[in-house]
Structure 1
Amino acid sequence: MLLTHKTSIPTLYRMSSIVASLPDFPRVRRYAPGLLLSALLAALAALLSQWQPLSQLGLSALTLAIALGMLAGNSIFPALPAQTVAGVDLARSTLLRAGIVLYGLRISLQDIAAVGWPGLLIGMLMLALTFVIAVHVGTRWLGLDRQTAILIGAGSAICGAAAVMATQPLVRGEEHKVSIAVATVVVFGTLAMLLYPLAYPYLGLSQHAFGLYAGSTIHEVAQVVAVGQSIGPEAANAAVVEKMLRVMLLAPFLLGLSLQSAAANRATASFRTCCAQVHIPWFALLFIAVSAVHSLKLLPTALVAVLVQLDTLLLATAMAAMGLRTRIASLRQAGLQPLKLGLVLFVFLAVGGYCINRAIAALV
């Protein structure tokens, strides 16, 4: 099923020719080829994510989509007609924001109530500390640029690839920096999946406590599910709820990041100018609104299920588009420093997260 150089280029050329023959639909001619290419890669990623060997590794459709996108982007994509670029760029911008908005259907205010204030406090502490460490260590010790450090920090602190994509529009991170951040999520999230179940017998935690620990420290939702289910149903439920709580913190994180970016210029700008520089991410506000609507049970369950599937496709399409615009040469230039930062954050999440979970549990 994988696209090959011999079969894919003629097919996509024919597809582009068909679209180009529609003179009454200029927008279709402009965007359809790139959107179709990104969507095809996303659909393939969604299918592969259901394949047992990959699902057991916790590789989500989003992670596989950017991998397939990078594969195509460094092989067949440069040889395709230039008109595919507009649709790919639309997918990695507009479709990305739409996907983040619909991501709110995966969580609700009831999720917070299920873990109580200890779970909320753990989630907030882990997000704040992980992100601060990422920016400080990344920029001051490892010499990374601020964009890369922020993207890696967001992916590690919140919800993996989805958080990286949501943060990218605010920091205007280049495609290769997004790919680097997602790579750290894949590498160290996979490592967590292997080590956490092995460590469980020696941690002195109940299933529920271990679920909170896993949900508050592992990168991707799929990885959290895999680890929780390997221990037991009680651990799985607590892990998923805690992880969804971290996802809900994405919106206030984005708002805070936008305000901090504007505040950084206060020393050289008037108050009015500073306020004008505050970029309110509308998709983060809509994310909160969608979560509130979902919490009120206003939408039929069947419709929510369909929209969640649509959301996965939208996000995977955006990831595939980012992969298509990523060049391997750019990743090589980044070197080992991003992986070093990912390792530092992984150690903090595993060790520091365990200490924070035990400390808060002792206060309850």
Structure 2
Amino acid sequence: MSAALPHIPRKSLLPLAPGLALVAGVTALAFALRLLPGLHALSPVIVAILLGMALANLRAPSDAAQPGIAFAGKGLMRGAVALLGAQITLGDLGAFGIGGGVAILTAVALTLPASHAIGRRLGVAPDLSLLIATGSAVCGASAIAGANGVIRARVEVVSYAVATITLWGTLGLFAIPLAAGLLGLTPVQAGLWAGLSLHEVAQAVGAGFAGGETSGQAALAMKLGRVLMLAGVIAVLARSHGAVAKGPAGEKGPGVPGFLWVFIALVLLNSAGLLPLPLRETTALITPVLLSAALAGLGLTTRFDRLRSLGLAPLAQGGAAFGLIAALGLAAALWIG
């Protein structure tokens, strides 16, 4: 009798429903607020993360909502970035030439060891210090997850590192566009600064596109260049720890993320003129919604009490790391742009 029952996939989408419904509500509200008088100039991606943070700290989402929120903060972000490839050509990515590559290498190569040294000087545990340094230099939570495949830190250490990175990156999401305006930076310079400085892809892209299409594409180019450094950083960490970068079950650790390959494929197709106009127009409409939903998910996971319970030294390290990479990013943006 039981053999006749339909097979139910173990990875059902049903557990994601409560969290995705919450994220959808926050995203819809973010877009709706722009219809109010005086608020039309606000970017929905910034409003979405503000609303998410407010909700998370006023009343934490239920446990049932956590899987969907996590999926939004990571999965939807990756999907949005992948679709952005349909709006970009190789000419856009290569517009910054050798200077862009030097800026990316410099930002990662200086920030990671300097941040780790600051953490150790502040008395932060070695594994936590290294995770914060890696997340700050490369690509936030994704870099922390990849590095932990080698470091194998405790769960609470990883959670604290992610919380620290999320907080400083979120502050930077608002601070960099504001500071760029005050400093009189061009849209390209503002985008370069965001892409070279902010931790998460969604944060960098959100800050970049808050300044317009040109700024957003510059931010994306620089940020994805930093993401491409992840595989090399993990390889160096594996060698320094005398281990092979493997996951808990022995599988290989993450290299270049899959969404980046999709992005590259779309860029190549678009550069060759093989993407039809209706497809490019559709992705241009969908992408801002996905980005807003991704940032709403990140906001809904930002809890300030997690930082307070584990002390201030790692938080200070994260702040110092962000200050360093932001300074390097600004100098590079002024040089390249």
Give your verdict on TM over 0.5. yes
Does the CA contact (< 8 Å) of 1:66 and 1:319 recur in 2? yes
Choose from 187, 196, 214 the match for 2:193: 214
Does the CA contact (< 8 Å) of 2:144 and 2:161 recur in 1? no
Q: How big is each residue's C-alpha offset from its partner over 1:13-50, in whole Å with a ceiling of 9 and x where there is no partner?
A: xxxxxxxxxx967558x855531111112212323443
Q: How big is each residue's C-alpha offset from its partner over 1:214-236, in whole Å with a ceiling of 9 and x where there is no partner?
A: 3454522222344x45xxxxxx7
- In the alignment, what sits opposite 1:110? 91
When Rg is computed on C-alpha atoms for both structures, the one with the higher figure is 1
- In the alignment, what sits opposite 1:146? 127
Q: Pick which of 38-47 and 337-346 moved more.
A: 337-346
- In the alignment, what sits opposite 1:241? 217
CA 1:274–1:253 in structure 2 vs 1: closer, same or farther (change >3 Å)?
closer
Q: Post-superposition shift, 1:184? A: 0.9
Q: How big is each residue's C-alpha offset from its partner over 1:262-285, in whole Å with a ceiling of 9 and x where there is no partner?
A: 22343xx6xxx6799783426614
Does the CA contact (< 8 Å) of 1:43 and 1:313 recur in 2? no
Q: Post-superposition shift, 1:187? A: 1.7
For 1:70, the aligned partner's letter is A
Is residue 320 of structure 1 aligned with residue 297 of structure 2?
yes
CA–CA distance in structure 2, aligned partners of residues 258 and 93 of structure 1: 24
After TM superposition, list the pairs within 5 Å mapping 1:53-64 onto structure 2: 53=39, 56=42, 60=46, 63-64=49-50
Q: Post-superposition shift, 1:112? A: 1.9
Is residue 77 of structure 1 aligned with residue 46 of structure 2?
no
| SS class of match (1:60) | helix
CA 1:147–1:293 in structure 2 vs 1: closer, same or farther (change >3 Å)?
farther
Q: Post-superposition shift, 1:91? A: 6.3
Choose from 153, 157, 166 the match for 1:182: 166
Does the CA contact (< 8 Å) of 1:114 and 1:241 recur in 2? no
Gaps of 5+ in 1: 1-22, 79-83, 230-235
For 1:183, the aligned partner's letter is L
Q: TM-score, normalised by structure 2?
A: 0.68
Q: Post-superposition shift, 1:98? A: 7.1
After TM superposition, list the pairs within 5 Å mapping 1:1-364 onto structure 2: 26-27=8-9, 31-32=12-13, 34-50=15-31, 51-52=33-34, 53=39, 56=42, 60=46, 63-64=49-50, 67=53, 70-71=56-57, 75=60, 77=62, 84=64, 88-89=66-67, 92=70, 96=74, 99-100=77-78, 103-107=81-85, 108=88, 109-141=90-122, 143=124, 146-147=127-128, 150-151=131-132, 153-154=134-135, 156-157=136-137, 163-172=139-148, 174-200=158-184, 207=186, 210-211=189-190, 214-219=193-198, 220-226=204-210, 228=211, 237=214, 239-266=215-242, 279-281=252-254, 284-297=257-270, 298-304=274-280, 306=282, 309=286, 313=290, 316=293, 320=297, 323=300, 329-357=305-333
Q: Aligned residue pairs: how many? A: 306
Percent of aligned positions that are identical: 17
For 2:237, the aligned partner's letter is S
| SS class of match (2:257) | helix
CA–CA distance in structure 1, aligned partners of residues 126 and 241 of structure 2: 18
Q: Post-superposition shift, 1:134? A: 2.7
CA–CA distance in structure 2, aligned partners of residues 211 and 321 of structure 1: 22
Does the CA contact (< 8 Å) of 1:99 and 1:311 recur in 2? no
Which structure has greater helix proportion? 1
Q: Post-superposition shift, 1:290? A: 3.4
| SS class of match (2:252) | coil
For 1:197, the aligned partner's letter is G
Does the CA contact (< 8 Å) of 1:126 and 1:349 recur in 2? yes
Does the CA contact (< 8 Å) of 1:130 and 1:345 recur in 2? yes
- In the alignment, what sits opposite 2:201? none
**Backbone CA RMSD of aligned residues:** 4.4
CA–CA distance in structure 2, aligned partners of residues 99 and 225 of structure 1: 14
For 1:214, the aligned partner's letter is W
CA–CA distance in structure 1, aligned partners of residues 76 and 45 of structure 2: 22
Does the CA contact (< 8 Å) of 1:58 and 1:222 recur in 2? no
CA–CA distance in structure 2, aligned partners of residues 57 and 95 of structure 1: 18
CA 1:301–1:183 in structure 2 vs 1: closer, same or farther (change >3 Å)?
farther
CA 1:120–1:240 in structure 2 vs 1: closer, same or farther (change >3 Å)?
farther
For 1:34, the aligned partner's letter is P
